[in-house]
Structure 1
Protein backbone atom coordinates (compact mmCIF):
# COMPACT_ATOMS: atom_id res chain seq x y z
CA UNK A 1 0.00 0.00 0.00
CA UNK A 2 1.36 3.49 -0.82
CA UNK A 3 2.52 5.41 2.24
CA UNK A 4 3.75 8.87 3.12
CA UNK A 5 7.40 9.29 3.92
CA UNK A 6 7.85 9.59 7.71
CA UNK A 7 8.70 13.31 7.56
CA UNK A 8 5.71 14.31 5.42
CA UNK A 9 2.97 16.18 7.33
CA UNK A 10 -0.57 15.00 7.44
CA UNK A 11 -2.71 15.23 4.32
CA UNK A 12 -6.03 17.08 4.45
CA UNK A 13 -8.78 17.16 1.85
CA UNK A 14 -10.40 20.59 2.05
CA UNK A 15 -13.83 19.46 0.97
CA UNK A 16 -17.06 17.93 2.25
CA UNK A 17 -17.65 16.20 -1.11
CA UNK A 18 -18.18 12.44 -0.86
CA UNK A 19 -17.06 12.13 -4.49
CA UNK A 20 -13.68 13.79 -3.83
CA UNK A 21 -13.22 11.77 -0.66
CA UNK A 22 -13.74 8.51 -2.56
CA UNK A 23 -11.32 9.55 -5.28
CA UNK A 24 -8.56 10.57 -2.85
CA UNK A 25 -9.03 7.27 -1.05
CA UNK A 26 -7.87 5.46 -4.18
CA UNK A 27 -4.30 6.65 -3.57
CA UNK A 28 -4.08 4.67 -0.34
CA UNK A 29 -2.69 7.63 1.61
CA UNK A 30 -3.97 8.43 5.10
CA UNK A 31 -5.89 11.72 5.06
CA UNK A 32 -8.36 13.83 6.98
CA UNK A 33 -11.17 16.02 5.72
CA UNK A 34 -12.00 19.58 6.70
CA UNK A 35 -14.70 21.79 5.22
CA UNK A 36 -13.53 25.19 3.94
CA UNK A 37 -15.82 28.07 4.82
CA UNK A 38 -15.59 30.48 1.88
CA UNK A 39 -17.89 32.48 -0.37
CA UNK A 40 -18.07 30.61 -3.69
CA UNK A 41 -19.82 33.41 -5.61
CA UNK A 42 -18.09 34.23 -8.94
CA UNK A 43 -16.63 37.72 -9.07
CA UNK A 44 -17.92 40.25 -11.62
CA UNK A 45 -16.24 39.79 -14.99
CA UNK A 46 -14.40 36.68 -13.84
CA UNK A 47 -13.85 33.98 -16.46
CA UNK A 48 -14.99 30.43 -15.61
CA UNK A 49 -11.46 29.05 -15.40
CA UNK A 50 -10.38 31.98 -13.23
CA UNK A 51 -13.31 31.32 -10.90
CA UNK A 52 -12.39 27.65 -10.53
CA UNK A 53 -8.70 28.40 -9.92
CA UNK A 54 -9.42 31.14 -7.39
CA UNK A 55 -11.89 29.03 -5.43
CA UNK A 56 -9.60 25.98 -5.37
CA UNK A 57 -6.81 28.16 -3.96
CA UNK A 58 -9.09 29.89 -1.45
CA UNK A 59 -10.46 26.56 -0.22
CA UNK A 60 -6.95 25.18 0.32
CA UNK A 61 -5.75 28.40 1.96
CA UNK A 62 -8.75 28.57 4.31
CA UNK A 63 -8.14 25.05 5.59
CA UNK A 64 -4.36 25.54 5.72
CA UNK A 65 -4.84 28.56 7.98
CA UNK A 66 -6.40 26.23 10.55
CA UNK A 67 -4.28 23.16 9.90
CA UNK A 68 -0.70 24.37 10.27
CA UNK A 69 2.11 22.27 8.76
CA UNK A 70 -0.04 20.06 6.54
CA UNK A 71 -0.57 19.36 2.87
CA UNK A 72 -4.04 20.65 2.01
CA UNK A 73 -5.98 19.81 -1.13
CA UNK A 74 -8.51 22.30 -2.49
CA UNK A 75 -10.56 21.73 -5.62
CA UNK A 76 -13.38 23.45 -7.45
CA UNK A 77 -15.28 22.78 -10.65
CA UNK A 78 -17.06 25.15 -13.02
CA UNK A 79 -19.01 23.95 -16.07
CA UNK A 80 -19.43 26.27 -19.03
CA UNK A 81 -21.53 26.36 -22.18
CA UNK A 82 -20.86 29.12 -24.71
CA UNK A 83 -18.76 30.83 -22.03
CA UNK A 84 -21.62 30.91 -19.53
CA UNK A 85 -21.08 29.29 -16.14
CA UNK A 86 -23.32 26.37 -15.25
CA UNK A 87 -23.51 25.83 -11.51
CA UNK A 88 -25.10 23.24 -9.25
CA UNK A 89 -28.84 23.12 -10.03
CA UNK A 90 -30.05 22.65 -6.46
CA UNK A 91 -33.43 21.23 -7.44
CA UNK A 92 -35.24 19.20 -10.09
CA UNK A 93 -36.63 22.07 -12.16
CA UNK A 94 -33.26 23.81 -12.47
CA UNK A 95 -31.55 20.52 -13.32
CA UNK A 96 -34.03 19.80 -16.10
CA UNK A 97 -33.49 23.26 -17.57
CA UNK A 98 -29.73 22.67 -17.51
CA UNK A 99 -29.99 19.33 -19.30
CA UNK A 100 -32.40 20.74 -21.88
CA UNK A 101 -29.95 23.52 -22.64
CA UNK A 102 -26.96 21.17 -22.87
CA UNK A 103 -28.44 18.28 -24.86
CA UNK A 104 -26.63 17.71 -28.12
CA UNK A 105 -24.01 20.26 -27.07
CA UNK A 106 -20.43 20.17 -25.83
CA UNK A 107 -19.81 21.50 -22.32
CA UNK A 108 -16.40 22.45 -20.91
CA UNK A 109 -15.75 21.45 -17.29
CA UNK A 110 -12.93 23.35 -15.56
CA UNK A 111 -11.68 21.32 -12.59
CA UNK A 112 -9.17 23.39 -10.65
CA UNK A 113 -6.81 21.83 -8.13
CA UNK A 114 -4.60 23.41 -5.48
CA UNK A 115 -2.14 21.67 -3.15
CA UNK A 116 -1.13 23.97 -0.31
CA UNK A 117 2.07 23.11 1.56
CA UNK A 118 1.68 24.45 5.09
CA UNK A 119 5.40 24.01 5.73
CA UNK A 120 6.17 26.93 3.43
CA UNK A 121 6.34 30.37 5.04
CA UNK A 122 5.88 32.17 1.72
CA UNK A 123 2.25 31.90 0.54
CA UNK A 124 3.30 32.30 -3.09
CA UNK A 125 5.57 29.27 -2.80
CA UNK A 126 3.09 27.25 -0.79
CA UNK A 127 0.51 26.71 -3.52
CA UNK A 128 0.69 24.43 -6.53
CA UNK A 129 -2.31 25.06 -8.75
CA UNK A 130 -3.66 23.69 -12.01
CA UNK A 131 -6.80 23.75 -14.14
CA UNK A 132 -7.77 20.49 -15.87
CA UNK A 133 -10.32 20.80 -18.68
CA UNK A 134 -12.76 18.10 -19.68
CA UNK A 135 -14.89 18.31 -22.82
CA UNK A 136 -18.24 16.56 -22.43
CA UNK A 137 -20.82 16.12 -25.18
CA UNK A 138 -24.36 15.41 -23.98
CA UNK A 139 -26.72 13.13 -25.89
CA UNK A 140 -29.66 14.79 -27.64
CA UNK A 141 -32.37 13.12 -25.55
CA UNK A 142 -36.09 13.97 -25.20
CA UNK A 143 -37.48 15.67 -22.11
CA UNK A 144 -39.05 12.45 -20.83
CA UNK A 145 -35.68 10.67 -20.63
CA UNK A 146 -33.96 13.64 -19.01
CA UNK A 147 -36.75 13.92 -16.46
CA UNK A 148 -36.66 10.20 -15.71
CA UNK A 149 -32.88 10.27 -15.22
CA UNK A 150 -33.11 13.16 -12.78
CA UNK A 151 -35.80 11.46 -10.71
CA UNK A 152 -33.68 8.31 -10.42
CA UNK A 153 -30.28 9.83 -9.60
CA UNK A 154 -31.17 13.32 -8.31
CA UNK A 155 -27.79 14.90 -9.16
CA UNK A 156 -28.80 18.28 -7.78
CA UNK A 157 -25.43 18.88 -6.10
CA UNK A 158 -23.47 18.39 -9.32
CA UNK A 159 -22.51 21.13 -11.76
CA UNK A 160 -24.09 20.16 -15.06
CA UNK A 161 -26.74 17.93 -13.45
CA UNK A 162 -25.12 14.61 -14.33
CA UNK A 163 -23.03 12.13 -12.33
CA UNK A 164 -20.66 10.56 -14.82
CA UNK A 165 -19.64 7.98 -12.20
CA UNK A 166 -23.26 6.83 -11.97
CA UNK A 167 -26.27 6.57 -14.26
CA UNK A 168 -25.44 9.99 -15.71
CA UNK A 169 -22.99 8.27 -18.05
CA UNK A 170 -26.04 7.15 -20.05
CA UNK A 171 -26.90 10.72 -21.02
CA UNK A 172 -23.36 11.53 -22.17
CA UNK A 173 -22.10 10.92 -25.69
CA UNK A 174 -18.37 11.49 -25.16
CA UNK A 175 -15.80 12.61 -22.59
CA UNK A 176 -12.36 13.96 -23.50
CA UNK A 177 -9.74 14.76 -20.86
CA UNK A 178 -6.08 14.16 -20.02
CA UNK A 179 -7.11 13.29 -16.46
CA UNK A 180 -9.99 10.77 -16.27
CA UNK A 181 -11.07 11.57 -12.70
CA UNK A 182 -11.22 15.33 -13.26
CA UNK A 183 -14.87 15.27 -14.29
CA UNK A 184 -15.85 13.59 -11.02
CA UNK A 185 -14.19 16.44 -9.13
CA UNK A 186 -10.58 15.55 -8.25
CA UNK A 187 -7.96 15.12 -11.02
CA UNK A 188 -5.74 12.41 -9.58
CA UNK A 189 -3.02 12.55 -12.24
CA UNK A 190 -2.47 16.24 -11.52
CA UNK A 191 -2.70 15.60 -7.78
CA UNK A 192 -0.08 12.85 -7.77
CA UNK A 193 2.25 15.20 -9.69
CA UNK A 194 1.78 17.83 -6.99
CA UNK A 195 2.21 15.36 -4.13
CA UNK A 196 5.44 14.10 -5.65
CA UNK A 197 6.67 17.70 -5.94
CA UNK A 198 5.88 18.12 -2.24
CA UNK A 199 7.97 15.06 -1.33
CA UNK A 200 5.29 12.40 -0.98
CA UNK A 201 6.53 8.98 -2.04
CA UNK A 202 4.51 6.18 -3.57
CA UNK A 203 5.16 2.42 -3.71
CA UNK A 204 7.61 2.58 -0.80
CA UNK A 205 10.28 4.34 -2.89
CA UNK A 206 11.63 7.84 -2.48
CA UNK A 207 11.06 10.15 -5.43
CA UNK A 208 14.11 11.06 -7.45
Structure 2
Protein backbone atom coordinates (compact mmCIF):
# COMPACT_ATOMS: atom_id res chain seq x y z
CA UNK A 1 0.00 0.00 0.00
CA UNK A 2 1.46 3.34 -1.03
CA UNK A 3 1.01 6.67 0.72
CA UNK A 4 -1.98 8.25 -1.00
CA UNK A 5 -1.22 11.74 0.33
CA UNK A 6 1.46 12.16 -2.34
CA UNK A 7 -1.07 11.66 -5.15
CA UNK A 8 -2.54 14.85 -6.68
CA UNK A 9 -6.05 15.22 -5.32
CA UNK A 10 -7.32 17.38 -8.18
CA UNK A 11 -6.78 14.41 -10.52
CA UNK A 12 -8.84 12.09 -8.34
CA UNK A 13 -12.62 12.39 -8.46
CA UNK A 14 -14.65 10.95 -5.62
CA UNK A 15 -17.01 8.12 -6.55
CA UNK A 16 -19.62 6.50 -4.30
CA UNK A 17 -20.00 2.87 -5.28
CA UNK A 18 -23.69 2.74 -4.48
CA UNK A 19 -27.06 3.74 -5.88
CA UNK A 20 -28.60 3.96 -2.41
CA UNK A 21 -30.35 7.30 -1.94
CA UNK A 22 -29.62 7.07 1.79
CA UNK A 23 -25.87 6.80 1.25
CA UNK A 24 -25.90 9.58 -1.34
CA UNK A 25 -27.68 11.89 1.11
CA UNK A 26 -25.26 11.05 3.89
CA UNK A 27 -22.11 11.50 1.80
CA UNK A 28 -23.43 14.86 0.58
CA UNK A 29 -23.19 16.08 4.18
CA UNK A 30 -19.40 16.14 3.82
CA UNK A 31 -19.78 18.81 1.09
CA UNK A 32 -17.47 17.06 -1.34
CA UNK A 33 -18.31 16.77 -5.05
CA UNK A 34 -18.90 13.15 -6.00
CA UNK A 35 -20.66 10.93 -8.46
CA UNK A 36 -22.45 7.68 -7.73
CA UNK A 37 -22.32 4.48 -9.73
CA UNK A 38 -23.67 1.00 -9.16
CA UNK A 39 -21.25 -1.78 -8.22
CA UNK A 40 -21.75 -5.18 -9.81
CA UNK A 41 -21.28 -7.51 -6.85
CA UNK A 42 -22.92 -10.78 -5.85
CA UNK A 43 -24.12 -10.18 -2.29
CA UNK A 44 -24.76 -13.84 -1.45
CA UNK A 45 -23.18 -14.77 1.91
CA UNK A 46 -20.46 -17.41 1.85
CA UNK A 47 -21.17 -20.65 3.73
CA UNK A 48 -20.65 -20.04 7.45
CA UNK A 49 -19.71 -16.38 6.91
CA UNK A 50 -20.26 -14.26 10.02
CA UNK A 51 -22.36 -11.10 9.52
CA UNK A 52 -19.52 -8.60 10.27
CA UNK A 53 -17.23 -10.48 7.88
CA UNK A 54 -19.93 -10.38 5.21
CA UNK A 55 -20.35 -6.61 5.62
CA UNK A 56 -16.59 -6.01 5.34
CA UNK A 57 -16.18 -8.31 2.34
CA UNK A 58 -19.05 -6.72 0.42
CA UNK A 59 -17.98 -3.14 1.19
CA UNK A 60 -14.50 -3.92 -0.14
CA UNK A 61 -15.87 -5.82 -3.13
CA UNK A 62 -18.13 -2.93 -4.09
CA UNK A 63 -15.34 -0.37 -3.79
CA UNK A 64 -12.88 -2.53 -5.74
CA UNK A 65 -15.40 -3.29 -8.48
CA UNK A 66 -16.07 0.40 -9.10
CA UNK A 67 -12.36 1.23 -8.73
CA UNK A 68 -11.54 -1.15 -11.57
CA UNK A 69 -13.74 0.99 -13.82
CA UNK A 70 -12.50 4.28 -12.31
CA UNK A 71 -8.84 3.55 -11.47
CA UNK A 72 -7.88 7.20 -10.87
CA UNK A 73 -10.80 7.87 -8.54
CA UNK A 74 -11.16 7.60 -4.80
CA UNK A 75 -14.00 5.11 -4.44
CA UNK A 76 -16.22 4.55 -1.41
CA UNK A 77 -18.00 1.23 -0.94
CA UNK A 78 -20.33 0.36 1.89
CA UNK A 79 -22.52 -2.49 3.05
CA UNK A 80 -24.78 -3.17 6.00
CA UNK A 81 -25.80 -6.50 7.47
CA UNK A 82 -28.34 -6.91 10.24
CA UNK A 83 -27.43 -9.68 12.66
CA UNK A 84 -29.97 -11.45 14.85
CA UNK A 85 -28.15 -13.95 17.10
CA UNK A 86 -25.57 -14.62 14.39
CA UNK A 87 -28.09 -14.94 11.55
CA UNK A 88 -27.71 -12.28 8.83
CA UNK A 89 -30.83 -10.38 7.84
CA UNK A 90 -30.71 -8.71 4.43
CA UNK A 91 -33.07 -6.39 2.62
CA UNK A 92 -36.54 -7.94 2.76
CA UNK A 93 -37.60 -6.94 -0.75
CA UNK A 94 -41.25 -7.84 -0.12
CA UNK A 95 -43.94 -7.01 2.42
CA UNK A 96 -44.18 -10.63 3.57
CA UNK A 97 -40.45 -10.90 4.27
CA UNK A 98 -40.47 -7.55 6.07
CA UNK A 99 -43.29 -8.77 8.32
CA UNK A 100 -41.30 -11.92 9.10
CA UNK A 101 -38.15 -9.92 9.88
CA UNK A 102 -39.92 -7.55 12.26
CA UNK A 103 -41.70 -10.42 13.96
CA UNK A 104 -38.34 -12.11 14.58
CA UNK A 105 -36.76 -8.87 15.84
CA UNK A 106 -39.67 -7.95 18.11
CA UNK A 107 -38.37 -7.59 21.66
CA UNK A 108 -34.85 -8.56 20.56
CA UNK A 109 -31.47 -6.84 20.37
CA UNK A 110 -30.12 -6.75 16.81
CA UNK A 111 -26.56 -5.93 15.76
CA UNK A 112 -26.23 -3.87 12.59
CA UNK A 113 -22.76 -4.11 11.02
CA UNK A 114 -22.06 -1.23 8.63
CA UNK A 115 -18.76 -1.46 6.77
CA UNK A 116 -17.13 1.27 4.68
CA UNK A 117 -14.17 0.87 2.34
CA UNK A 118 -12.11 3.46 0.49
CA UNK A 119 -10.07 2.35 -2.53
CA UNK A 120 -7.93 4.00 -5.19
CA UNK A 121 -6.78 1.37 -7.69
CA UNK A 122 -4.07 3.49 -9.31
CA UNK A 123 -2.54 4.51 -5.97
CA UNK A 124 -2.86 1.09 -4.39
CA UNK A 125 -4.83 2.57 -1.48
CA UNK A 126 -7.21 0.15 0.26
CA UNK A 127 -8.70 0.65 3.72
CA UNK A 128 -11.84 -0.64 5.37
CA UNK A 129 -13.55 -0.09 8.71
CA UNK A 130 -16.62 -1.45 10.46
CA UNK A 131 -19.16 0.41 12.60
CA UNK A 132 -21.23 -1.84 14.87
CA UNK A 133 -24.62 -0.60 16.05
CA UNK A 134 -26.71 -2.30 18.72
CA UNK A 135 -30.47 -1.81 18.31
CA UNK A 136 -33.09 -2.93 20.80
CA UNK A 137 -36.57 -3.39 19.31
CA UNK A 138 -39.74 -2.96 21.31
CA UNK A 139 -42.16 -5.86 21.62
CA UNK A 140 -44.21 -5.27 18.48
CA UNK A 141 -47.80 -6.26 17.82
CA UNK A 142 -48.98 -7.50 14.43
CA UNK A 143 -51.01 -4.30 13.98
CA UNK A 144 -47.98 -2.11 14.72
CA UNK A 145 -45.88 -3.99 12.19
CA UNK A 146 -48.54 -3.75 9.49
CA UNK A 147 -49.21 -0.06 10.10
CA UNK A 148 -45.51 0.74 10.00
CA UNK A 149 -44.79 -1.23 6.83
CA UNK A 150 -47.74 0.27 4.96
CA UNK A 151 -46.69 3.76 6.05
CA UNK A 152 -42.97 3.60 5.21
CA UNK A 153 -42.45 0.50 3.00
CA UNK A 154 -38.82 -0.03 4.05
CA UNK A 155 -38.33 -3.02 1.76
CA UNK A 156 -34.89 -1.84 0.61
CA UNK A 157 -33.52 -1.58 4.16
CA UNK A 158 -31.69 -4.34 6.02
CA UNK A 159 -33.83 -5.13 9.04
CA UNK A 160 -37.03 -3.66 7.54
CA UNK A 161 -36.96 -0.38 9.49
CA UNK A 162 -35.82 3.18 8.76
CA UNK A 163 -34.46 4.60 11.99
CA UNK A 164 -34.22 8.04 10.37
CA UNK A 165 -37.96 7.96 9.75
CA UNK A 166 -41.03 6.42 11.33
CA UNK A 167 -39.05 3.26 12.10
CA UNK A 168 -37.61 5.00 15.16
CA UNK A 169 -40.96 4.32 16.87
CA UNK A 170 -40.25 0.58 16.74
CA UNK A 171 -37.13 0.90 18.85
CA UNK A 172 -36.30 1.08 22.55
CA UNK A 173 -32.62 2.03 22.21
CA UNK A 174 -29.71 2.54 19.80
CA UNK A 175 -26.08 2.21 20.91
CA UNK A 176 -23.38 3.38 18.48
CA UNK A 177 -20.24 5.53 18.37
CA UNK A 178 -20.98 6.56 14.74
CA UNK A 179 -24.53 7.95 14.62
CA UNK A 180 -25.15 7.70 10.87
CA UNK A 181 -24.00 4.07 10.64
CA UNK A 182 -27.51 2.71 11.14
CA UNK A 183 -28.80 4.75 8.18
CA UNK A 184 -26.22 3.15 5.92
CA UNK A 185 -22.93 5.09 5.89
CA UNK A 186 -20.86 5.70 9.06
CA UNK A 187 -19.67 9.26 8.40
CA UNK A 188 -17.15 9.41 11.26
CA UNK A 189 -15.35 6.38 9.84
CA UNK A 190 -15.85 7.52 6.25
CA UNK A 191 -14.26 10.90 7.03
CA UNK A 192 -11.39 9.13 8.80
CA UNK A 193 -10.68 6.95 5.76
CA UNK A 194 -10.96 9.89 3.36
CA UNK A 195 -8.46 11.86 5.44
CA UNK A 196 -6.13 8.85 5.32
CA UNK A 197 -6.53 8.98 1.54
CA UNK A 198 -5.38 12.59 1.54
CA UNK A 199 -8.69 14.45 1.37
CA UNK A 200 -8.85 17.51 3.60
CA UNK A 201 -11.91 17.62 5.85
CA UNK A 202 -13.68 19.77 6.81
The bucket for the TM-score relative to the shorter chain is over 0.9
In structure 2, runs of 5+ residues without a counterpart are 1-7
What's the counterpart of residue 5 of structure 2? none
In the alignment, is residue 194 of structure 1 matched against residue 198 of structure 2?
no
Instruction: Report the CA distance between 1:45 and its aligned residue.
Output: 1.3
What's the counterpart of residue 16 of structure 2? 13
User: Aligned to 2:97, which of 94, 109, 114?
Assistant: 94
Task: Provide runs of 4+ in structure 1 moved above 3 Å.
Answer: 5-8
The superposition leaves residues 81-100 of structure 1 with CA deviations (integer Å, 9 ceiling, x where unpaired) of 11111111111111111111
CA RMSD between the two structures: 1.2
What's the counterpart of residue 141 of structure 2? 142
Instruction: Report the CA distance between 1:6 and its aligned residue.
Output: 5.3
CA distance in 2: counterparts of 1:118 and 1:30, whole angstroms: 19
What's the counterpart of residue 206 of structure 1? none
- TM-score w.r.t. the length of structure 2 is 0.94
What's the counterpart of residue 131 of structure 1? 130
What's the counterpart of residue 37 of structure 1? 40
In the comparison of the two structures, how many residue pairs are matched?
Answer: 195
- TM-score w.r.t. the length of structure 1 is 0.91
Contact 1:15 1:36 in 2 (8 A): yes
What's the counterpart of residue 60 of structure 1? 63
What's the counterpart of residue 117 of structure 1? 120
What's the counterpart of residue 111 of structure 2? 108
